[in-house]
Amino acid sequence: MEDKLLAIFAEESHEIIDTLERGLLVLENSQDPEEINSVFRAAHTMKGNAGIVGFDSVVNLTHLMEGLLDEMRQGRTKPDAETVGLLLSGVDALKVLVNGYMANESPAPPAEIMSALSARLGEESPSPGQARVAAKANAAPRKDSRYRITMRFMPDIFTTGTDPLQLLMELAELGTIERVVCHVEDLPRFEKLVPDNLYFWWEVWLLSQQSLSTLDNVFIFVKDDNEITIAADDAPGQGPSPEPAPEPAPVASAETAPPAPAPERPPQAVAAKAPAPSPPGKAAAPAPVPAAPAKAPAPAQAFAPSPTIRVDTEKLDKLVNLVGELVIGVARVNQLADVAGGETDHTELSSAVEALDHISRDLQEQVMRVRMIPVEGTFNRFQRVVRDLASELGKKIHLEMSGSETELDKNVIEQIADPLKHLIRNSADHGLEPPQERLAAGKEDTGTIWLRAYQQEGKIIIEVADDGRGIDRNRVLNKAQERGLATPGVTYSDKDVYGFMFQPGFSTAAKVTEVSGRGVGLDVVRQNIEALRGSVDVESALGAGSTFRIKLPLTLAIIDGMTVRVGGEILTLPLLSILESIRPLAQDVKRVEGRGELITVRGEYLPLVRLYEVFDLPTERTDPTQALVVIIESVSKRFGVLVDDILGEQQAVIKSLEQNYQKVEGIAGATILGDGTVSLILDIHGLEKLAFG
C-alpha cells in the first residue's frame, strides 16, 4: 500500500515537474496570469504531496518556490529571466530530491538555491512548511465530570451539511448522556414552516471523563456560527432544566433529537438514519435530479464524467498481443475457407469470414490507437533543452514546434526522446552559427530550430531543421577519408557523404564542445532509430541550414513486411526499407576485388548480399539472373539482397525472439503467417552488420 502511494507520488511528481518547467518557460515570455496560476498550483500541489509522503526537503524547497510564485501571482514580482532562472534551478533540484527520496535516500535541500529563494522572499532563513503540530494530547481526567451543553443552531444548519443528531451521537460516545432536553417552542405554525429549517435547540447533560477541550472539539466546525456552550455543572439537570421541558429522555436518542417538524422533510434523517442510496436526491428537491444542474451557471459541461482513465501499459501490451493473435487466426480461417470454397459453394462461409476479418482488423487498429499518445509532452521538454543550450553556447536560438498533436506509439515516444535531443543539440552546436557570424552572413542573429512532426504515407515523420550554416560536404568527405570510411578518388553522392556522418567514430566538430562531442555521435542516433525500425536522412544546403528527417512506423507491434522465399524458408523484410526489386541481367552482376559482389542498378553500383549465404540456407537458386534482388536502403547505404522469390506484402504482428528464445543477429523477430507457418523478420541494421561487418 505504501509502495502504491509512492508510485503515484513519483508519477505525479514527474507530471508536476513537467508542468512547472513548461509553465516557467512560457512565463518568461508572457506574463499570463492564468499561466502564473497554473505554475503556482503545480508548486502548491507538489508541496502538499511531499508533505503526505513525508519528503521534507521537497516540502521545504517547494515552500519557498511557492512563496516566490505567490509574489508573482500578487504582481509583486515579475517573471523576468532571473526569477525564472532561479525557479528553474529549483525545479532541477526538485528532480534530484525526488529521485533521491525514491531511491530511499534522505537528500538535503540545495542550500544555495534555498538561500537565493529566501533572499528573494525577504525571509532570513528558510522556514519550512512544517506539518501543523497535532492537537494537544488530552490528559484525560480519571473521574467523571458532569457537563451541561446547550446547542442552538442557525436555522439553515442542514444546508451546511451538518446534522445536530450526529453531534449528539458524538457526545454520547464521549461519555454517558444523562439527559437531553429538546426545545420545540420555536416551531412555527405549519403554514409558516420552512421545511429546510431547524427550529429546535437542545440541552444535554453529559457525564464524561473527557476534558473540556475534547468536548469543545466536537463542535469545532460549528461553534463559530452557532450558539454552543459547554460548562461544568454539578446539578444533574434539575435547576437548569427549563419549564417547558417535555419528558426528558434518559439517553439521547432518535426520538428526542429529530422529531422532524414536517414528516416529509428528512434532511437530517438522510445523513443520520440512512447512509443508503437515494435519499438526498429525493428528499431535498421535488424536482428530478437532472433538472437541478440546469440552474447551474455552467450546465452543459458541468456534469461531464471523467474523460480519461489510466491503464497499465502491460495490460495494453497483452491486449495488443492478443488482438494480433486474433488477426492471424482469422487470416488462417480465411485461407481455409478459400480452400474449402474452391471445392464447393461456400459463399456464405466466405462472406462471414470476410466480415470477421474486417472486424478483427478494425479492432486491431483501435487497440493500436489506444497506445498512441501525442508527441507534445516530449516536444515541450525541448523548450528547456534549447534554452539551456542557447545560454551554454552563447547563441540566440528560437525553437519553433509544429505538429505536436501528432500521435505515436507510447513505446516509440519514450525511445525517440534521446535521439531527438541529440539532433537538437547537434543543430544548436554544429548547425547554428554564433550571432556575429549570422549577422555577417546577412541572417538574423537569432537562429531557428524547427521541430516538426507529421504523418505521411502511414509513417510518422519527425524533422529537426535549422537555418544554420548547413553541412559542408567537402569537410565531411575529408573527414570520412581520414577515418578510412571513404575511398579517395571514388565519387560519392550527397546521400553517401551525409551517410558517413552516421558511421561510428565520425565527428566533424573541430573542437570538442561541452554540448556535443561527448563521444556519442550520430551513429548512436541512427542505431536508436533503427532499433525502432525507423530511418533517418539528411538534407542540407550550404549556408541555408540542414534538416534531419526521422521516419518511424506508427507502431512497433506491427510491421508492414514483404514476404520472400529463400530455400525452404519464408522471410519477412520490413517494407519501410525496401526501394524496389529487380531481376538482374547477367552483365549487371560483377565481382570487384576488395568490394565484393556488386550489382548495377541504373548505372549505380550497389553491394549484393546473398541471403542464403548470410543465413546459411540451402537453395538451388544461386544464379542471380534466375532469382530476384530486393534493393534495400538503410541510413548509411543501399544494397541489394538476393532472394529466391517474392511472395507478397503482408502486415505482420511481431513476436519477440528475445523474449521467447534469444537474440539472433540480423533477425528482428518472428511472425506467424496466415497459413500458420513462422516467418523470421529481418533486421536491416543487423543484416548490414552481418554482411559488411
Partner 1 sequence: MSKVILVVDDSATLRMSVEMTLDPAGYEVVHARDGQEGLGQLQNLEKQNKLPVMIISDINMPIMDGITFIKEVKKTPYRYLPILVLTTEREDSKKMEGKKAGASGWLVKPFKPETLLAVVRKFTRTLS
Binders of partner 1 among 269-288, rule CB under 8 A?
A: 270-285, 287
Residue 483 CB, nearest approach to partner 1 (Å) = 52
**Which is closer to partner 1, CB of 7 or CB of 542?**
7
Interface with partner 1 includes 154 (CB under 8 A)?
no
SS3 category, 245: coil
What is the DSSP code (8-state) at residue 431? I
- The footprint of partner 1 on residues 188-207 (CB under 8 A) is none
Q: CB 39 → partner 1: shortest distance, Å?
A: 12
CB nearer to partner 1: pick between 266 and 468 = 266
Which residue is listed with cell 534522505? 106
Considering the complex, state which of residue 301 and residue 660 has its C-beta at the smaller distance from partner 1: 301
CA 327 → CA 320, 322, 409, 481, distances in Å? 11, 9, 19, 50
Of 213, 46, 27, the residue nearest 138 (C-alpha) = 213
Query: Which window, 152-160, 234-242, 371-379, 551-559, contacts partner 1 (CB under 8 A)?
Result: 152-160
Q: Whose Cβ is closer to partner 1: residue 103's or residue 304's? A: 304
Beta bridge partners of 396: 446
Length of the chain: 693
Rank residues 46 and 424 by Cβ distance to partner 1 and give the closer one.
46
Minimum distance of partner 1 from residue 65's CB (angstroms): 13
Helix boundaries (H) for 450-546: 473-482, 494-500, 522-531
Interface mask toward partner 1 for 391-410; x: CB under 8 A: --------------------
Handedness of CA 591, 596, 597, 600 (dihedral sign): negative
> Nearest distance from residue 306's CB to partner 1, in Å?
5
Member of 51, 248, 470, 517 binding partner 1 (CB under 8 A)? 51
- What does the alpha-carbon distance between residue 101 and residue 55 come to, in Å, rounded to a whole number? 7
SS3 651: strand
Helices within 273-375 (DSSP H only): 279-284, 299-302, 313-343, 347-370
List 31, 38, 446, 650, residue binding partner 1 (CB under 8 A): 38
CB of 19 to partner 1, least distance (A): 10
Residue 669 interacts with partner 1 (CB under 8 A): yes or no: no
Within 170-189, the residues that bind partner 1 by CB under 8 A are: 170
Using the rule CB under 8 A, is 292 a contact of partner 1? yes
Asked if 12 is part of the footprint of partner 1 (rule: CB under 8 A), the reply reads yes
Q: Figure out which of the listed residues 296, 311, 359, 592 binds partner 1, where binding follows CB under 8 A.
A: 296
Total interface residues for partner 1 by CB under 8 A: 71
Range 65-84, binding partner 1 (CB under 8 A): 66, 70
CA 368 to CA 412: how far, in whole Å? 13
What's the grid cell of residue 646?
517474392
Q: Tell whether residue 305 is a contact of partner 1 (CB under 8 A).
A: yes
Residue 24 near residue 387, CB atoms below 8 Å: no
In the complex, the smallest distance separating the C-beta of residue 376 from partner 1, rounded to whole angstroms, is 17
Q: Which is nearer to partner 1, 307 or 484 (CB)?
A: 307
Sequence-ordered alpha helix ranges (H) in 397-471? 410-426, 435-440
Question: Minimum Å distance from CB 272 to partner 1?
Answer: 6
Rounded least distance, CB 109 to partner 1, Å: 17
- Can you tell me which of 134, 139, 232, 586 binds partner 1, judged by CB under 8 A? 134
99 binds partner 1 (CB under 8 A): no
Q: Are 630 and 564 in contact (CB under 8 A)?
A: yes
**DSSP-assigned letters across all residues of 72-135:** HHTTSS---HHHHHHHHHHHHHHHHHHHHHHTT--PPP-HHHHHHHHHHHT-SS----PPPPPP
Q: Give the whole-angstrom CA distance, residue 460 versus residue 450.
A: 16
The one-letter amino acid at 187: L
Decide whether 261 or 435 has the Cβ nearer to partner 1: 261
Of the two residues 287 and 520, which places its CB atom closer to partner 1 in the complex?
Answer: 287
Q: Which of 96, 194, 254, 439 binds partner 1 (CB under 8 A)?
A: 254
Distance from C-alpha of 2 to C-alpha of 12, rounded to nearest angstrom:
15
Residue whose CB is less far from partner 1, 159 or 677? 159
Binding residue (CB under 8 A) for partner 1 from 304, 343, 457, 616: 304
Question: What is the enclosing helix (H) or strand (E) of 12?
Answer: helix 2-29
Among 125, 301, 347, 587, binds partner 1 (CB under 8 A): 301
The burial class, CB within 10 Å (0-12 / 13-18 / 19+), for 541 is exposed
Binding range to partner 1, per CB under 8 A, among 20-28, 214-222, 454-462, 590-598 = 214-222
Which range, of 136-144, 156-164, 581-589, 646-654, touches partner 1 by CB under 8 A?
Answer: 156-164
d(CA 630, CA 582): 6
Determine the residue type at 35. Answer: E
